[in-house]
Amino acid sequence: MTAYTPDHGCPKCGGQSGYSFTMTESHDMGGGWGELASSGDNGDQRYSLVSCEDCGHKFHLRTLRALGAIPGDEAACVPHY
């Protein structure tokens, strides 16, 4: 078997339509009394399962990143179900 590369498409079905997932990010908010709140990114991001647009199969984002199907650092992925 040959090694996976992104041009193979979906690791399950080989589909080429792409993928989708939801990323939720939280921000710390604060401000002075009587003033508008301002935000600061606290770095907390959570990810849903990644769905293939062709076959609907669901993958963990960290698995696809480790495989090389989606760029990024798989160690930074915190699942959110």
Q: What is the pLDDT of residue 40?
A: 80
Q: Judge whether 75 lies within some domain.
A: yes
Q: How many domains does the chain have?
A: 1
Q: Judge whether 64 lies within some domain.
A: yes
Return d(Cα 39, Cα 73) in angstroms, integer: 25
Which range marks the domain in which residue 49 is found? Answer: 7-11+17-26+41-81
Q: Judge whether 31 lies within some domain.
A: no
Model confidence at 14, pLDDT cuts 50, 70, 90, reads very high
Return d(Cα 10, Cα 46) in angstroms, integer: 22
pTM: 0.75
- At residue 24, φ and ψ (nearest 5 deg) are -110, 130
Return d(Cα 60, Cα 62) in angstroms, integer: 5
The residues near 63 (Cβ < 8 Å, ≥ 6 apart) are 74
Per residue in 15-61, pLDDT tens?
Answer: 999 999 999 988 888 999 999 999 887 778 899 999 999 999 999 99
Q: What is the pLDDT of residue 74?
A: 62
- Is 70 exceeded by the pLDDT of residue 65? yes
Q: What is the pLDDT of residue 72?
A: 86
- Comparing CA positions, the residue from 16, 12, 8, 78 lying closest to residue 49 is 78
